[in-house]
Homo-oligomer: A and B are copies of this chain.
Amino acid sequence: MKLEETDRLEAFSDGVLAVIITIMAFNVKPPAGASAAALGGVLPRILVYVLSFVIVGIYWNNHHHMLHAVKHVNGPILWANTHLLFWLSLVPFATAWMGENHFAARPVALYGVVLLMAANAYYLLSRCLIHLHGKDSLLAAALGNDFKGKVSIAIYASAIALSFANRWIGFGLYWVVALIWLLPDRRIERVITE
């Protein structure tokens, strides 16, 4: 038996996302010494890791749901997916830079730029999929007008600008987007069940 093309697309994406997550954990280097202060010094990095882990987890989750409703892939879709993986592959870099500089304004803003580009790439991928499957497809119905996706992009853009005013606003807004998505998104599940 031969797997579908979508299965290999998912497998490759899963592989990249799995390594991204583990590389980020690997970047949280154990502190020198066994004191509580040493452990405390690692806390900012752990805090950033939690955020990045949640964000990559959300992408895996949404990607999983979206691809499950997909029947065909073509060249543009493969590249739209690769494009998404490119921006997600920069998340460990942005995470490490932000964690090492204790949330200085510029790293916080750059982190937002990477998330903004990834969100755009995800939106682009969903449009390529709908283009192939048709506006009347299950997938198009399930994604709807993609309100959450558009709101996320708007919040990320604001967060980047506001990071230079107050970095904690930027960092806080990244959490806001994560929480928007953590609320279970029953759109696709509901349409498929119906």
Contacts and interface: CB of A to CB of B under 8 A. Distances in A.
Interface in A41-87: 50, 53, 57, 60-61, 64, 68, 74-76, 78-79, 82, 85-86
Given A15-B15, A57-B82, A106-B34, A92 B20 contact: no
Instruction: Tell me what chain A mostly uses at the interface: helix, strand, loop, or mixed.
Output: helix
B4 A93 contact: no
A28 interface: yes
Say which size band chain A's interface belongs to: 35 or more
A137 interface: no
Interface in A4-39: 4-12, 14-23, 25-26, 28-31, 33-36, 39
Interface of A: 1-12, 14-23, 25-26, 28-31, 33-36, 39, 50, 53, 57, 60-61, 64, 68, 74-76, 78-79, 82, 85-86, 89-90, 92-93, 96-97, 100-101, 104-107, 110, 182, 184-186, 189
